[in-house]
Structure formats: structure tokens, C-alpha cells
Amino acid sequence: MRTPTSLLLALAAAAALLAAAPSAGAAAGTWSATRGFTVGGPRDRESVPRAAIASDGTNAVAFRSKSGALMLATGTAGGRFGAPRVIDRAGARDHSIAAARGGAFLLAWEDGDGIRVVVRTRAGRRIVTRRVATSTGETINGLQVAADPLGGWVIAERVFPSGPRRDRLYGVRVLSLDAAGRRIGDVQDLGAGQFGIDARPTQALAVGPDGRAVLAFGRQTPLGRPAPQPVVVATRPHGGTFGTPVVLPGPPAADPRVAVDGAGRALVTFTQIRSRGDAGVFGSPAVATVQPDGTLSAPLGPTLEFPGRAFAPSAAFTSAGAALVFQLKTKSEPFVQEAPVRAVTGAGRGVCVE
């Protein structure tokens, strides 16, 4: 296995596009005109917008206004956005958004008294607001939401605290909603653990065309009690509940991310840890296939001359297999997260890295 000497960021974008159905605008070979929205400034905790695009090209964007309000704008497959509307003026904290065919969307956010959502079942239908679960109300809680192609939505929550407050642990909870945003069954507690929270939607959570949800996160143990903190993966069939999380085989790993494709295949990407620091986790990028029964294949990844300089891996399926994309520093800089983007491609079952 080898690492290519130079690859452009465009390769990562192309790989991502190959894993998704083209929108009407893309089929025509042209881009729509840009549309801008006024967002919050540096004083806000995070002004980065979240965007979600359904397989038919309909989409939705959530962001914070200059006043700190949670805003929502929806768009057509042809690239036309409606005027942004206020969803919550003051209480919304971390938020995540997902879109489904026909102009459906669900925007979920952490509030002081639990998890709230606004949902639309189809373009032209009214938007409904619901509280779907109680929570701890901590400002460091976070969400990720994904659309189920067979109908409904899945939400994963990073919640603090999990267990005794003195242990200072995050926990992971999951819940399923129907197409109208009503909760199905109880909230499931998957135990101590956490997943990253940033502007990339469904980074730790994805749902395939058969309705199987895949969630990857890292376990946690109390401070001062040395113990393995492995990456684990939990799956849920459509209409069912999440099973017991399965431990990722191989060396210690972190920073897991999930990818699915239109055939129901699923991958988990992660970093096999060589070093840790304030700037994150660094090591060899690798992937594992999520089998139909929820078990995981042995990890695969490129052999790097300096594996301690790699970080932030992700994957996208292509017509020939999959592409593993990651960042690789040109020199050792423990406190830096700026680095060129690299990629390797593969074919066959899982990812056979070239």
C-alpha cells in the first residue's frame, strides 16, 4: 500500500459527490447563483451554518443570526432559497439538521429543558415544533440528526453528565422519531462516551437506504482510572432499537466518522492513535466495514512514512469502491491542525487501499 504524492481537495469533493444522487441543478451542468445570509459574529459561540441535502436535491440550512437567534432557510432542488425564518430567539444551543425527499426536513436543538425539533413532512406543509426528550440542560450537550430513507428520523445526543457528576463523563443517548417528528419508543442510553460536534452533518451518525442507522463514538472512563477507551459502533434496524455497541478491533483509535451509500454499505473511518495533544489526535487513518449483522471488519488503511502526522479521516463511497480522505502534515507540528489533504482509493469489498 502506498500514499499518493499529491492530491487536491477537489478529489475529496468528487468522491463525496459520487456517493450521492445528483440534484436537478447538477444534472443540468450549471450552478445556481449564490445566496447570502447575515450570521452571528465572533462573539457567538459558533456561527457556522449547518446544511442538509436530500437525495432529490431539496435542502435546508440552519444558522445563527447576528442577534443569536436560531434561523432556518429551505431550498429547492434548483437552488432557490426562501427567506430565513426565526426558529428560536434565545434558548437554542447546539443544533443539527437533516433533509429528506420532497422538501421534508428536521432541525433539532438542545434547549434548557430538553431536545426540541421543528419538522416539515413535505414542501408546502406547515412546520411543527415539538419537545421530543428531556435532558440535563447543560450547554456542552450536543446533537446529530439523520433522515431515515424509509421514513422518520434518528437523533444521537452527547449528554453531560453520564452517571455520577464527580466522574465528569459524557454519555450517548439515541432516539427515533416518525416522519412527523413524534418520538418512537423510549430514549436509549448507550452508556458513557462522546462524539465530535462540528458543522459537518451526520459525522457520527448515518442511515442507509434500508433504514439501518449506524452510530460511532468513543467510550469514556473516569479521570484517574486508566482503562481502554475504545471506539464503538451501534446499529439500529428501521423501526427497531439500537443494539449493544460493538468495539472496533485493532489498535487504540479515536475520531470516528460514518459513511453509507445507496446500496446499504457502511464504513467507519477513524485515527489509529500515535499521539494526543491539545490540538487533537494524530495517527494512521483507517476504515472498517460495518457488516449486515453490525459486526466490524478488520481495519484497513494506507501505510504512511510518518503516521503520527495524519488526522481527520473521512470516507465516501465511489462507483469503484471508496475513497479515504485525510489530512497529513508535511512536518511535525503537535499544536497545528492545518495540513494538506490526501486521499487513497479502493475497490472491491470494503476499501482495499492502493
Specify the pLDDT at position 90: 85
Q: What is the reported pTM? A: 0.85
**CA distance linking residue 62 with residue 65, whole number of Å:** 10
Residue 251 has a pLDDT of 92
Q: Tell me the domains of the chain and their CATH numbers.
A: 1-19+261-354 (no CATH), 23-28+35-253 (2.120.10.10)
Which among 101, 189, 201, 110 has a CA at the least distance from the CA of 152? 101
CA gyration radius, the chain: 20
Of 226, 228, 225, the C-alpha closest to 247 is: 228
Query: What is the predicted pLDDT for the residue at 198?
Result: 55
- How far apart are the C-alpha atoms of 249 and 291, rounded to whole Å? 13
Instruction: Please tell me the predicted confidence (pLDDT) of residue 25.
Output: 37
151-204 confidence digits (pLDDT tens): 999 999 999 999 888 888 999 999 999 999 999 999 999 999 999 865 454 589
pLDDT for position 105:
98
Q: For residue 23, what pLDDT is reported?
A: 35
The rounded Cα 134 to chain-centroid distance in angstroms is 22
The span from the CA of 264 to the CA of 269, in Å, is: 16
Which residues does the chain have with pLDDT short of 70? 1-32, 35, 37-47, 197-202, 224, 226, 278, 347-354
Helix or strand run (H / E) with residue 17: helix 9-18
What's the pLDDT at 40? 61
Q: What is the pLDDT of residue 197?
A: 62
What grid cell was written down for 24? 436537478
pLDDT value at residue 32? 67
In contact, 246 and 268? CB cutoff 8 Å:
no
